[in-house]
Amino acid sequence: MNTRYTFPRSCRLLKTDEFSSVFNFRCAKTGRFLNVYAQPNVTNASARLGIVVGKKQLRTAVARNLAKRVVRDVFRLHQHDLPNLDYIVRIIKPFTQDQSAIVRNELLLLLKKSKRCLDS
DSSP 10: G
Q: Rounded to whole angstroms, how far apart are CA atoms 36 and 34?
A: 6
Note the residue count of the chain: 120
pLDDT, tens only, 68-119 = 999 999 999 988 888 888 999 999 999 989 999 999 999 999 998 888 877 7
* CB within 8 Å of 49: residues ≥ 6 apart: 7, 11, 12, 13, 71, 72, 75, 79, 87, 88, 89
CATH number at residue 27: 3.30.230.10
Question: Has residue 1 been placed in a domain?
Answer: no
100-110 confidence digits (pLDDT tens): 999 999 999 99
Residue 7: which pLDDT band, with cuts at 50, 70 and 90?
confident
Q: Given this model, what pLDDT does residue 51 score?
A: 95
- 72 is a domain residue: yes
Sequence-ordered strand ranges (E) for 3-116: 28-30, 34-40, 48-52, 85-91
The total number of structural domains that make up the chain: 1
Dihedral of CA atoms 81, 47, 5, 103 in degrees, nearest 10, equals -80
| pTM score, whole prediction | 0.90
Domain of 28 in residue numbering reads as 9-115
3 lies in some domain:
no
Instruction: Evaluate whether residue 40 is within a structural domain.
Output: yes
pLDDT digits (tens, 9 = 90+) for 44-59: 778 899 999 999 989 9
Backbone angles phi, psi at 29, to 5 degrees: -125, 135
Average predicted confidence (pLDDT) for the chain = 88
Is 38 a member of any domain? yes
Q: Examine residue 26 and state whether it is found in any structural domain, yes or no.
A: yes
